[in-house]
Amino acid sequence: MTIIAERNKIALIEVDGRYYVVGIDRGAGQVTSELASDSPADGGRWFGGISDRGVQYVANGRSESAARAAFRRASRVECHECGRLTSLDRLCRSCATLTVTA
């Protein structure tokens, strides 16, 4: 298991050549299903330990390009000036405000 990127408590993880986007809580030692397509149909989230098996349990493996795109979408935050979704540490395209990590 390799954590490729982590931002806003969302992680992009590689396990055996497949890529996974999960919520990550290092303090609790767990990962959660973060994408709607990985979550239970009746709502809620899957939970697992921070391990290969835990990651594979809570999320579907994807190609690297699909997982990176999903990671970018999942880790966006609301701009504190205009409310639009934007990436952390980037200029908001709407109001040109720098959105920084807390």
What's the Cα-to-Cα distance from 63 to each of 12, 17, 26, 86, rounded to whole Å?
12, 8, 25, 24
pTM comes to: 0.78
Integer distance in angstroms from the first to the last C-alpha of the chain? 27
Residue 21: the pLDDT is 96
pLDDT of residue 99: 56
Amino acid 102: pLDDT:
44
Q: What's the confidence (pLDDT) of residue 25? A: 94
**What pLDDT does 86 receive?**
61
Work out the percent of the chain whose per-residue pLDDT is above 90: 55
Specify the pLDDT at position 71. 92
Question: Which residues of the chain fall short of a pLDDT of 50?
Answer: 101-102
